[in-house]
Amino acid sequence: MSKGFDSSSKPELSALQGARMLAALEAAKTAAAHVSHEQCSANAALRRQQAELEAVQEAGQKAGERGRDVRNSLQLLRESVDRAKLSALNAGLEGARLGDPAGKALVVMGDEVRNLLARAADALDEHTALLLEVDGDRERAHLDLVRVNDSTRLNSSAFGRAAEQSQLTCALLAELSTDMGGVFGTNAAAGRLLAEAADQVQIMADSLQNLRQRAPLGVPELRELLAPLLALVPHEEDPTR
């Protein structure tokens, strides 16, 4: 009879291995819960950032509307200055019709007013040009904000999906932990304690192995070696001492 692979055979796990698996599962569950919590926090922060960006966009839009109002006012001022220039020229014409001695003062005054108005018109043109530049900068900033906002929205939805996946992972790990607890007849906390105890026992076993290799040493030498450790162990009052 040939010895084939027995499909009904199950891998045998020791209690210690089971405890370690349970402890590892518990740690993975905690880590997944932590990740999920961090993702939720990041998502909330992104949503806040998105709301703030939208507020900034709205403020920019309002600034644009005010800019249009200012431009309209400047246009009105420009028209008024142009009218005033015509009035100054008309006053000068009256003076010119009066002739040199009589109308000279009116012509000179009209010319002076016209020069002042020309300076005012130049300043108004400069203001209009500056306002256009500011409006262009505002428009560019607005477009940048729209791009940033879109990107934030995408990041936020990606974070939301990742948080959902993390929550699902947490739930699956919890289910797995419960199932394994049933299989090994213990719960996760006990498994973790058992795994820790097993680690401590392993360390002690290694220490004993080391000591065994030093067998040639006599009892007094061993006492001497262990003295610092024994001093740490609480013990009842020795009547012989």
Partner 1 sequence: MAPRAGLLVKRGGERLFLAASIVRQLVPLPRLSKMPWDCAQMALVAGEIVAVVELAPPSGVLVLCEHAGQTLALSGLHAEQVGFWPATSAGVRVNGADVPALDLGLALAEFQATHHLNKDGAP
Residues that bind partner 1 (CB under 8 A): 82-83, 86, 89-90, 92-93, 95-97, 99-100, 103-104, 107, 110-111, 114
* Cα 183 to chain centroid, rounded: 42
Closest CA to 72 of 8, 152, 26, 135: 135
Q: Which CB, 83 or 147, lies closer to partner 1?
A: 83
Residue 112 · residue 83 · CB < 8 Å: no
Minimum separation from the CB atom of position 109 to partner 1 (A): 11
Q: Which CB, 86 or 183, lies closer to partner 1?
A: 86
Q: Which CB, 63 or 109, lies closer to partner 1?
A: 109
Minimum separation from the CB atom of position 132 to partner 1 (A): 21
Minimum separation from the CB atom of position 112 to partner 1 (A): 12
| Cα–Cα distance measured from residue 49 to residue 21, given in angstroms and rounded to the nearest whole number | 41
Minimum separation from the CB atom of position 122 to partner 1 (A): 15
Running DSSP on this structure, what letter comes out for residue 81? H
Q: Which CB, 113 or 148, lies closer to partner 1?
A: 113
| Amino acid letter, 13 | L
> 159 is written with which tokens?
């974070």
Residue holding tokens 């839009």?
61
